[in-house]
Amino acid sequence: MESRNFLRFLAISLSVSLVLFFTWVHLPYAPQPNTTTDLLYCSTNSPWCTSKNRFQSINKPSTADNILEKPPNPKHHKVHNHESDTPHHPLDPLTISEINRVRTILKSHALFRSSSPFAFHSVVLEEPDKTLVLQWKKGDSLLPRKAAVVARVAGKSHVLTVDITTGEVAVQETGSRSGYPTMTIEDMTSSTWAPLSNADFNRTIIQRGVDLQDLACLPISLGWFGESEENRRLIKVQCYSMEGTANFYMRPIEGLTVLLDMDSKEVVEISDKGRDIPIPKAANTDYRYSAQKINPEMMFVNPISIEQPKGPSFTVEDEHLVKWANWEFHLKPDPRAGVIVSRAKVRDPDSGEMRDVMYKGFTSELFVPYMDPTDAWYFQDVYGCG
């Protein structure tokens, strides 16, 4: 990828997954009052099910926590302690001990020894060159392990490469680059309260009949929308009314977008073009089972269980190598790219040999913009990590 676009790409990435994670972790919810949800909690009916539903399990710590801590079927739920992981393949992600080593190395680096605040926005494997990875075979010694680090120190971004074995740190030139490191959880948290420091913002919220106590503001998609935004880490914030509903996404304060500087926490601009757009009513927006007025004939309380009674049809070797039918590929999570599939091969039906299909692919290459050019929507997308 062209280096000029690299940081920009970083900035766009992660946005949706972070928003979803952030919503999950930080935003308010109404506790679940009734017990019929037991029936819908999948672990009640399937030993293989470990998904934890925030809304259904909130009053059920015993059920939900037990299933995660004490798996009912050890054969299918090996609890793996990742502390002692070691890399087996040149593309394996950094292990916990490698990340700790990177931290130790960087702690003594000149960039981080001053009293200026700093944040590591990304610490991932710096993948070896493709030619070397292609030559590597199982049993060969591992290629030198390096970390690619994006750090921000005193309002400046830095891209570093850390050699985990030698401790050598190479600082890349970032002056000529545009783009910014992606948001941190702290950046996201501040965007929920920062708009309230602006009197115009408060005024327009009150004018729309929303009590400031009922306000929920969220950082939506990141992006770069022109020269005027250059050299600043900006985020557009969308707000909702939480009044009378657990489902505040149904009550957007439409046509109001706050442009926020994530470094200074300052409101840069308020686009307020939707004053005439009413906020949807709270009635009938609650999606939770307990809130549904369901005709008894339509009750769907019998359990559904989706299982693979003989286990999955794929195997995983050395933590990251997946074998499934006539396919084989290396799989790893990446905070920027999402899931990365590498070295995908298929057994050629003619030759019987494994044939290379794809060197590397990102799930985040799926991009779904809403394609609405109006002011409040043109920057939004779903599943869009650029």
d(Cα 272, Cα 283) in Å, to the nearest integer?
Answer: 25
Q: 195 vs 223, which CB is nearer to ligand NAG?
A: 195
Q: Which residue has the tokens 């934890």?
A: 52
How many residues touch ligand NAG (CB under 6 A)? 6
Give the DSSP letter of residue 128. P
208 to 247, contacts with ligand NAG by CB under 6 A? 212
Q: 194 vs 385, which CB is nearer to ligand NAG?
A: 194
Q: 20 vs 212, which CB is nearer to ligand NAG?
A: 212
The nearest distance, CB 173 to ligand NAG, in angstroms, is 41
Give the DSSP letter of residue 247. -
Give the residue, chosen from 1, 79, 110, 199, that forms a contact with ligand NAG under the rule CB under 6 A.
199
Write 18-23 long-range contacts (CB < 8 A, 24+): 18/182, 18/183, 18/185, 18/188, 19/188, 19/218, 19/219, 19/220, 19/221, 22/185, 22/188, 22/189, 22/218, 22/219, 23/218
The nearest distance, CB 202 to ligand NAG, in angstroms, is 4
The nearest distance, CB 190 to ligand NAG, in angstroms, is 14
- Phi (first) and psi of residue 219, to 5 degrees: -75, 120
* Beta pairing, strands 338-347 & 267-272: unpaired
179 to 198, contacts with ligand NAG by CB under 6 A? 196-198
Tokens standing for 81? 């302690």
> Does 202 engage in binding with ligand NAG (CB under 6 A)?
yes
Q: Are 133 and 90 in contact (CB under 8 A)?
A: yes
Judged by phi (left if over 0) then psi (alpha if -120 to 50, else beta), residue 23 lies in: alpha
d(Cα 378, Cα 384) in Å, to the nearest integer?
Answer: 13
Q: 197 vs 228, which CB is nearer to ligand NAG?
A: 197
Report the residue closest to ligand NAG, judged by CB.
202
The nearest distance, CB 206 to ligand NAG, in angstroms, is 9
Q: 265 vs 347, which CB is nearer to ligand NAG?
A: 265
Q: 159 vs 216, which CB is nearer to ligand NAG?
A: 216
d(Cα 10, Cα 181) in Å, to the nearest integer?
Answer: 6
Sign of CA dihedral 79, 82, 88, 91: positive
The nearest distance, CB 261 to ligand NAG, in angstroms, is 16
Q: 46 vs 190, which CB is nearer to ligand NAG?
A: 190
Nearest to 7 by CA among 177, 223, 234: 177
Nearest to 195 by CA among 105, 251, 259: 259
Beta bridge partners of 270: 258
Q: 7 vs 205, which CB is nearer to ligand NAG?
A: 205
Q: Are 354 and 126 in contact (CB under 8 A)?
A: no
The nearest distance, CB 248 to ligand NAG, in angstroms, is 17
The nearest distance, CB 272 to ligand NAG, in angstroms, is 15
- Alpha-carbon Rg for the chain in angstroms: 24
Q: Under 8 Å CB-to-CB from 128, ≥6 apart: which residues?
A: 90, 143, 144, 146
Q: 193 vs 367, which CB is nearer to ligand NAG?
A: 193
Q: 143 vs 270, which CB is nearer to ligand NAG?
A: 270
Q: Are 204 and 217 in contact (CB under 8 A)?
A: no
List of residues contacting ligand NAG (CB under 6 A): 196-199, 202, 212
